Amino acid sequence: MNGQIDAALADLLPGVVRRLGIEATDVDVADLVNARITGASVVVTPAAVATVVPLSAASATTTRNGRRAVTDIVRQADDRLVVIAGPCSIHDPVAAVEYAGFIAGMRKRHGDDLEILMRTYTEKPRTEVDWKGFAYDPFLDGSSRISVGLVATRMLMCRITALGVPVAAEPLNALTPQYVNGLVTYNGVGARNVTDQTARERVSGFSSVIGFKNSPEGSIEAAIQAVRTARAPHEFLGVDQHGVSAQLSTTGNDTGHVILRGDKRGPNYSAAHIADTKRKLSQRGLPEVVVVDASHGNSQKNHLRQIDVVRDLAAQMAAGERAIRGVMVESNLVAGRQDLDSRHPEALEYGKSVTDACVDPGTTEGMLAELAEAVRERRCVRRDQSARGTEPTDSLQ
């Protein structure tokens, strides 16, 4: 297709140049254009991938129901809690499907109190240089077979959603979300991208629920600015399902909210931090909606500290705190983490993270039970307040 376009332009351009009176020149621009590009390979288009890997009826139902449920929880039309649990990053699709089976079981057990999504991150933001994720290097060996990674990512999300498990992802650029259209229930904009205006505008048109993490330096204001930006309509340059540049017009995404993930200086999940975030949101005319990431800065990179974070959040909810609408947990089949050796990826231990350390299913099961109990206690508090006529008024806009 690109070749046909180039050929058509070559035929038409001379006539256009003459009509506009532009002087024809033959300038060597070899040192001015693509001076540091060593190769350019054609990548399969989102439309082609969707044709080869179509959305099944089961997957469509999972995503549709998942988005509706999470949206209702964010808007407090549903008093349950969203929990996003799963590997820090996906690197082994077989292990990911096995983990999805665990999440499916937890959804059945705790469905009355929790809406559990699986974390299926196949793109990894990097502070410097490292493995960029399954979508970019699916063979884990530095071969960077991106077309394979994009197709495999869609296949994996189709498989997981077909099990009835909604998925969450982190979009890092304008192109990759097109490849999983219709499959993602929740998109979290990461700490490194939260100040990127183009990222804020992009998600204003997402069909999924969206959240914004505080910046790596701990700025909650950056996340609030992102929420306000994403809730507004925008016009920007993007790409369509054929990978062609297009002007995109959006309605704005009113599901946007803040995700507290801590920073290098310490955590930000305490009752005081939640109260401060609520105050800042209210001052900006935004709903008092908070999701807390139990990992990253809040665990200070110690995966076992997630247990303490969840316990603290559960206590806050049990005492009646209603702003906490979601919790994120990094969890995998095997606890801990391991280094990835791109020369010998076959030597990796099955089910263990190659990025941040995770807790195991048994630990995750305990945390989910604790959060479910907290939701039930929060309901009791609300019923008591309603009976006494002392129920607080929520900032819902």
Q: Is the pLDDT of residue 13 over 60?
A: yes
The predicted model scores a pTM of: 0.91
Share of the chain above pLDDT 70, in %: 96
The average confidence (pLDDT) of the chain is: 93
Asked whether the beta carbons of 217 and 268 are under 8 A apart, the reply is no
Q: Is the pLDDT of residue 2 over 80?
A: no
Among residues 309, 307, 326, 310, the alpha carbon closest in space to that of 255 is found at 326
Q: Is the pLDDT of residue 12 over 90?
A: no
Q: Is the pLDDT of residue 233 over 90?
A: yes
Amino acid at 366: G
Q: How confident is the model at residue 8 (pLDDT cuts 50, 70, 90)?
A: low
Among residues 202, 197, 190, the alpha carbon closest in space to that of 225 is found at 197
Q: Using alpha carbons only, what angle is made at residue 72 by residues 71 and 73, rounded to the nearest 5 degrees?
A: 90
Query: What is the per-residue pLDDT across 243-276, written as a single tens digit (0 to 9) for each?
Result: 888 999 999 999 999 999 999 899 999 999 999 9
Q: How confident is the model at residue 75 (pLDDT cuts 50, 70, 90)?
A: very high
Asked whether the beta carbons of 354 and 319 are under 8 A apart, the reply is no
Query: What is the per-residue pLDDT across 198-207, written as a single tens digit (0 to 9) for each?
Result: 999 999 999 9
Q: How confident is the model at residue 157 (pLDDT cuts 50, 70, 90)?
A: very high
Q: Rounded distance, CA 50 to CA 54, Å? A: 5
* Domain 49-387, CATH: 3.20.20.70
Share of the chain above pLDDT 90, in %: 80
Among 18-22, 328-332, 392-396, which is the least confidently predicted range?
Answer: 392-396
Q: How confident is the model at residue 183 (pLDDT cuts 50, 70, 90)?
A: very high
Please state the φ and ψ torsions of residue 216, each to the nearest 5 degrees.
-60, -25
In the block, which residue shows the tokens 């070559």? 10
pLDDT at 6: 65
Asked whether the beta carbons of 194 and 215 are under 8 A apart, the reply is yes
Q: Rounded distance, CA 73 to CA 322, Å? A: 11
Query: What is the per-residue pLDDT across 103-116, written as a single tens digit (0 to 9) for each?
Result: 999 999 999 999 99
Query: What is the per-residue pLDDT across 324-369, written as a single tens digit (0 to 9) for each?
Result: 999 999 999 999 999 999 999 999 999 999 999 999 999 999 999 9
